[in-house]
Amino acid sequence: MMTAEHQRLAVNASKAIPLVQWGPYLSERQWGTVREDESASGDAWNYCGHDLARSRAYRWGEDGLAGICDDRQILCFALALWNGQDPVLKERLFGLTNGEGNHGEDVKEYYFYLDSTPTHSYMKYLYKYPQAAFPYANLVDTSRGRSRNEFEYELLDTGVFEEDRYFDVVVEYAKESAEDMLIQISIHNRGPEPVELHVLPTLWFRNQWSWQPGTERPSVQQIEAPSGAQGHSLRGRGEGVRGVSVAKAVDAKLGERYLYCDGDVPLLFTENETNTQRIFGVPNRTPYVKDGINNYVVHGQQDAVNPEKKGTKVAAHYRLTIKPGECRTIRPPFSSGPQRRGQPVQRFRRRYGSAAQGGR
């Protein structure tokens, strides 16, 4: 029997721009790898560790939560979260380096790849995010103190998930075409109390211009929503039609891409440039650096993001208070052109049905 996915595979083989041009090609972890090691001693673990990853612009790749990118990794999309307790944004997975774990390197997170078709026409990912402060130091210190003959110390062992005080964050991608897709983020509060969560869908360019002379610098900037583009309520809250915040990304090779964010949400802009002041004690060549959005959200540094609403990295800043047992949903369509037909979410629902509805 020829399924819809079999048909997509057959058509895809003859396309100039195949469906697989965009997919789950973003690394889970770029920090602490030989790919980013430029140390004289070859100490990849410490040259660019987790603590430095938010501030150092990678050279050979990118990483992120539930991330996607094009097949040349020019433009990337991933999710960042902040529970109001952590010392940093949750932008990437945390784990132990080879010298920190009693059995070597080990990721200390709970995340699940739930679904993906061969053409990546539909993808689904689940991440479990604690509502209390993430126990970074506890995981490192306890693991270092254990011998090879003892069990590994896991995130669940820290007690951070007690009383189900965590969020289930489900990220889904559904493609309408090779370069147009719905991104749906559903956040479930599994805990017993209302909790605020900062949700930051993030779009950025991999930094190639710093290492490849003559590379034209790409750009992301906020633009007015095209005529006919309409926002939608955050599911579970009962709001009516709202505005749309639009980020336009432009690259000489990739062309134009547009990210549509419901609800007149603030867009935070910075540059995917190394914070040399933090890492090397050398003044930054730009006032807006890779960790600028982190510093704005977590530390309240108002001058850390560009007030001119442009850069090479942008995040939509949603602040959601989610009741116990409630699910809130954000749907930012991602497109190769202006959405002038309005209501892109409804078009995706007609095409994919329940696949674009979210769920537990």
DSSP, collapsed to helix, strand or coil, labels residue 259 as strand
pLDDT digits (tens, 9 = 90+) for 297-356: 999 999 999 999 999 999 999 999 999 999 999 998 888 877 654 455 555 556 555 444
List own/partner pairs for 47-53 with CB under 8 A and 24 or more apart: 49/97, 50/92, 50/94, 50/95, 52/279, 53/92
- Model pLDDT, residue 239: 35
Instruction: For 5, list phi and psi in degrees, rounded to 5.
Output: -70, -35
Report the candidate in 54, 42, 47, 146 with the shortest Cα–Cα distance to residue 93. Answer: 54
pLDDT, one tens digit per residue, over 207-228 is 999 998 888 999 999 998 765 5
**For residue range 22-72, what is the model confidence (pLDDT) as tens digits?**
999 999 999 998 889 888 888 888 889 999 999 999 999 999 999 999 999
The residue type of 56 is: R
Q: Which amino acid is at 100?
A: E
45's CB contacts (< 8 A; 6+ apart) are 32, 97, 98, 99
Residues whose CB is less than 8 angstroms from the CB of residue 300 and which lie 6 or more positions away in sequence, other chains included: none
Length of the chain: 360
The answer to whether residues 236 and 328 touch, using CB atoms and an 8 Å cutoff, is yes
Residue 360: the pLDDT is 36
Confidence (pTM): 0.90
| Model pLDDT for residues 263-299, shown as the tens digit of each residue | 889 999 999 999 999 999 999 999 999 999 999 999 9
What are the b/e assignments for 74-89, b being 16+ CB within 10 Å?
Answer: bbbbbbbbbbeebebb
